[in-house]
């Protein structure tokens, strides 16, 4: 029955045809790629966008009056508009290209936080942040004499919001939270947290690295000031990421990196900053990958983010029910598939995650094992590492079956009996 | 095919050490102890040694982590006990050479004892570091008793 509904939302077989890598074999077995939270595979349309740029109109942007440069600039800015529309930004100037989510967050801590945090101020993140939304805040709060506070992870794999009114208070200047956890899969109630942040006048940043690729995300609906995400997790190339900043805030921010492209005029005494968003994009940008990210956004739009989300909820629900057949597994994160992104993290004390990862790799299955850059989460769960399967639009129930069968045989293989 | 690759990696000897680690008890009143962590995966190795008359007279070794790390820790402890400190340095060197993929003579392989079984890990390059974690701990311990 689940399969029938799934068929209705996405034609997985047809989608898989767009991804050349999915037809290859790994260790003699058909590739089962379940490491999408680390990076997604790329459809032919995205790969073509890269070669079309390099073969057809490779030139630097925003300079030169020659045709190639203008063509490249048009396509590059068109990609920015696509991304802006995709996340519900009011203007494309609110979209700043970065290398990835990490750089986007560092832009906020390096620019906004440096001029807005005073001694005694507080910043709130959660215990389940990826290191990329924890370490930059640890650094900048320390530098500014501010305090970093954490919303706690409850025993049910969800955030414990009982003391939200104490943690987010009049001293809070910024609430920066992960939308969907990369290590547990839990989707956080960001709107509830944002509402509390608004009540005390704090700014809000959302780490959308694991949500923007997988579900409809609208910055107006979330009511956030900043949204950070990476292109490579949403069918795009590596090396291109996005920071959305609400225009009113962006206009007050100092540049992060300085040099060429971000200035309007330079004299020996100083410089005037360029218009938005170029003020935040020093140097020759990552033109090809931005354009290819535009192609990825087209692909996601055509498939429909609602359809992708529905497919992943069904597939995650199926995976959870099949994995629960295996008694030896402890499955982390929220119980219901609706409360998760397409991520299932589990542990067994019988086999170490790295042994499991090697075993599954021999069966052609790619999963991530380790702490997933969330060491505080691992400490809280009391495990050194977990095994994580993460899904995307091209994954199928057959692949989940293969994972479950292989896990069962791995347990037998390493069995201490 | 895949199965036999796996069997090559997790040979019986490795799984056996993993299930029944040697010298697993923590050595109390050790002359030196060291703890190493692989920050990438979180695996840990602990080694304690007692030295008398230029010889290792007691070893304790505990591992937290994957079976390769656990087996390597156990095998290393086994290979270390009652060895002269001078010989131990060359044994460690021999093991490191093996894990770099050097061909060793039969005589050298015999010296390594069970540690020679870890050459199977060479086919899985990402796991080689798992075998070296206890070695770093042992070297650190040796250094603190002034023999490194």
Domain boundary among A242, A276, A301: A301
Per-residue pLDDT of chain A (417 residues; tens, 9 = 90+): 444 444 457 999 999 999 999 999 999 999 999 999 999 999 999 999 999 999 999 999 987 779 999 999 999 999 999 999 999 999 999 999 999 999 999 999 999 999 999 999 999 999 999 999 999 999 999 999 999 999 999 988 899 999 999 999 999 999 999 999 998 999 999 999 999 999 999 999 999 999 999 999 999 999 999 999 999 999 999 999 999 999 999 999 999 888 887 888 888 888 888 888 988 998 899 999 999 999 999 999 999 999 999 999 999 999 999 999 999 999 998 899 999 999 999 999 888 898 999 999 999 999 999 888 888 888 888 887 899 999 999 999 999 999 999 999 999 988 743
Active site residue A224: no
Question: Average per-residue pLDDT in chain B?
Answer: 90
Residues A204 and A330 grouped into a single domain: no
* Nearest-neighbour CA in chain B from A416: distance (Å): 7
Dihedral (C-alpha) A409, A411, A417, B6: value to the nearest 10 degrees?
70
* Chain pair A-B, CB pairs under 8 angstroms: 53
Residue B1 has pLDDT above 50, yes or no: no
Nearest in space to A103 (alpha carbons), one of A252, A280, A278, A253: A280
Task: Check whether residue A14 and residue A56 sit in a common domain.
Answer: no
User: pLDDT grade, residue B8 (50/70/90)?
Assistant: confident
Note whether A380 contacts B: Cβ–Cβ < 8 A: no
What is the nearest CA distance from A384 to chain B, expressed in angstroms?
Answer: 6
Is A354 within 8 Å of chain B by CB? Answer: yes
Query: How far A388 CA sits from the closest chain B CA (Å)?
Result: 14
| A166: in domain | yes
Contact B66 A362 (CB under 8 A): no
The number of folded domains in chain A is 2
The answer on A202 and A116 residing in a single domain is: yes
Residues A291, A338, single domain; the answer is: no
The verdict on A111 and A156 lying in the same domain is: yes
**Residue A152 CB neighbours (<10 A):** 15
Mutate to test the interface with A, among B42, B122, B127, B128 (most CBs of A within 10 A): B42
What distance in Å separates residue B91's CA from the closest CA in chain A? Answer: 27
We report the CATH number of the domain holding residue A315 as 3.90.1150.10
H-assigned helices in B40-127: 67-80, 85-99, 106-112
- Interface residues of B toward A, Cβ cutoff 8 Å, are 1-3, 5-6, 9-10, 15, 19, 40-44, 64-68, 124, 127, 130
What pLDDT score does A4 carry?
Answer: 46
Shared domain check, A242 and A178: yes
Contact A384 B3 (CB under 8 A): no
**A74: CATH:** 3.40.640.10
- CB contact under 8 Å between A362 and B67, yes or no, is no
Q: Which of A362, A370, A375 sits opposite B2 (nearest CB)?
A: A362
Task: Confirm whether A37 is domain-assigned.
Answer: no
Q: Is A416 on the interface with B (CB under 8 A)?
A: yes
Are residues A150 and A125 in contact, defined by beta-carbon separation less than 8 angstroms?
yes
**Model confidence over B100-141: pLDDT tens digits?**
999 999 999 999 999 999 999 998 888 899 999 999 999 999
Q: Is the CATH number of domain B2-144 3.90.1010.10?
A: yes
Among residues A269, A301, A333, which one ends one of the domains? A301
Task: From chain A, pick out residues whose CB is under 8 angstroms from the CB of B42.
Answer: 370-371, 375, 378, 384-385
Structure tokens at A57: 């109109």
Choosing from A135, A139, A263, A373, which is the catalytic residue?
A: A373
Quick one: A339 and A383 in the same domain?
A: yes
Length of chain B: 148
Interface of A with B in 394-413 (CB under 8 A): 413
A351, A384, A416: residue with CB nearest B42: A384
DSSP string, A59-88: --SSS--SHHHHHHHHHHHHHHHHHHHHHT
Do residue A178 and residue A253 come from a single domain? yes
* Nearest-CA distance B72 → chain A (Å): 14
A414 touches chain B (CB under 8 A): yes
| Partners of residue A387 in chain B, C-beta under 8 Å | none
Give contacts of B9 with chain A, Cβ < 8 Å: 358
Name the residue among B124, B132, B146, B142 with its Cα closest to residue B36. Answer: B132
Stretch (H or E) spanning A353:
helix A353-362
Residues B41-55 have a mean pLDDT of 92
Q: What is the pTM of this model?
A: 0.87
Boundary residue ending a domain (A255, A281, A301) = A301
Please report how many Cα atoms fall inside a 13 Å half-sphere around the Cα of residue A392, on the Cβ side: 28
Residue B10 and residue A385: Cβ atoms within 8 Å?
no
Pick from B6, B42, B127: CB nearest A362: B6
Q: DSSP alpha helices (H): ranges in A159-304?
A: 164-167, 190-199, 219-222, 247-250, 287-303
The whole domain housing A319 covers: 2-30+304-414
| Candidates B15, B65, B124; nearest CB to A384 | B65
Contact B65 A28 (CB under 8 A): no
CB contact under 8 A, A362 and B64: no
Residues A98 and A207 in one domain: yes
Torsions phi, psi for B47 (to 5 deg): -135, 135
Mutate: best of B62, B65, B66, partner A, most A CBs <10 A: B66
What integer pLDDT is reported at residue A384 of this predicted model?
78
Residue A38 lies in a domain: no
In a domain, A42, yes or no: no
Inspect the interface and report whether the beta carbons of B6 and A414 lie closer than 8 Å.
no
**Whether residues A356 and A225 fall in one domain:** no
Q: Where are the alpha helices (DSSP H) in A226-324?
A: 247-250, 287-303, 305-323
CA A389 – CA A160 distance, rounded (Å): 25
Do both A273 and A357 map to the same domain? no
Considering the domain architecture, whether residues A316 and A297 belong to the same structural domain is answered as no
Is A342 an interface residue toward B (CB < 8 Å)? no
């Amino acid at each position: 029955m689940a399969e029938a509904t799934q068929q209705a939302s996405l034609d997985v077989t047809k989608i898989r045809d767009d991804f050349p890598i999915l037809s290859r074999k790994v260790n003699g077995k058909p590739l089962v790629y379940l490491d999408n939270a680390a990076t997604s595979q790329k459809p032919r349309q995205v790969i073509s966008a890269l070669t079309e740029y390099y073969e057809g109109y490779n030139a630097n942007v925003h300079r030169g009056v020659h045709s190639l440069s203008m063509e490249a600039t048009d396509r590059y800015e068109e990609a920015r508009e696509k991304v802006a529309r995709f996340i519900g930004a009011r203007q494309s100037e609110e979209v700043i290209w970065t290398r990835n989510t990490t750089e986007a967050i560092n832009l906020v801590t390096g620019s906004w936080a440096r001029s807005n945090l005073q001694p005694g101020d507080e910043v709130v993140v959660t215990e389940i942040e990826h290191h990329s939304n924890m370490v930059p805040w640890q650094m900048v709060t320390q530098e500014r004499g501010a305090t970093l506070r954490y919303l706690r992870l409850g025993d049910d794999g969800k955030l414990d919001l009982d003391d939200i009114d104490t943690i987010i208070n009049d001293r809070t200047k910024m609430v920066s939270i992960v939308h969907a956890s990369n290590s547990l899969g839990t989707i956080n109630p960001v709107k509830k947290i944002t509402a509390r942040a608004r009540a005390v006048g704090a700014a809000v940043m959302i780490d959308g690295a694991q949500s923007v690729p997988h579900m409809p995300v609208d910055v107006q609906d979330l009511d956030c000031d900043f949204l950070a995400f990476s292109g490579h997790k949403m069918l795009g190339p590596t090396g291109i990421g996005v920071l959305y900043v609400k225009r009113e805030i962006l206009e007050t921010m100092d540049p992060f990196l300085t040099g060429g492209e971000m200035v309007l005029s330079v004299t020996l005494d100083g410089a005037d900053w360029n218009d938005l968003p170029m003020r935040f994009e020093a140097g020759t940008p990552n033109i090809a990958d931005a354009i290819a990210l535009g192609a990825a956004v087209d692909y996601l739009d055509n498939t429909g983010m609602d359809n992708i989300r529905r497919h992943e909820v069904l597939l995650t629900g199926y995976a959870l029910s099949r994995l629960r057949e295996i008694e030896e597994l402890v499955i982390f994160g929220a119980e219901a598939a609706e409360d998760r992104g397409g991520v299932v993290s589990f542990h067994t004390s019988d086999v170490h995650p790295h042994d499991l990862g090697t075993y599954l790799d021999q069966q052609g299955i790619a999963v991530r094992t380790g702490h997933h850059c969330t060491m505080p989460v691992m400490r809280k769960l009391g495990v050194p590492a977990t095994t994580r399967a993460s899904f995307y639009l091209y994954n199928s129930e057959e692949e989940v079956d293969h994972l479950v069968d292989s896990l069962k045989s791995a347990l037998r293989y390493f069995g201490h009996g | 095919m895949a199965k036999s690759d796996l069997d090559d990696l997790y040979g019986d000897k490795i799984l056996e050490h993993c299930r029944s680690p040697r010298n697993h008890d923590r050595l109390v009143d050790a002359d030196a102890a060291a703890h190493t962590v692989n920050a990438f995966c979180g695996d840990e190795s602990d080694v304690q040694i007692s030295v008398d008359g230029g010889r290792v007279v007691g070893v304790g070794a505990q591992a937290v982590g994957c079976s390769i790390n656990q087996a390597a820790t156990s095998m290393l402890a086994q290979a270390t006990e009652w060895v002269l400190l001078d010989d131990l340095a060359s044994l460690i060197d021999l093991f490191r050479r093996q894990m770099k993929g050097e061909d060793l003579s039969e005589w050298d392989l015999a010296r390594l004892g069970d540690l020679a079984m870890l050459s199977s890990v060479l086919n899985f390059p990402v796991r080689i570091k798992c075998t070296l974690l206890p070695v770093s701990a042992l070297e650190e311990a040796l250094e603190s008793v002034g023999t490194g």
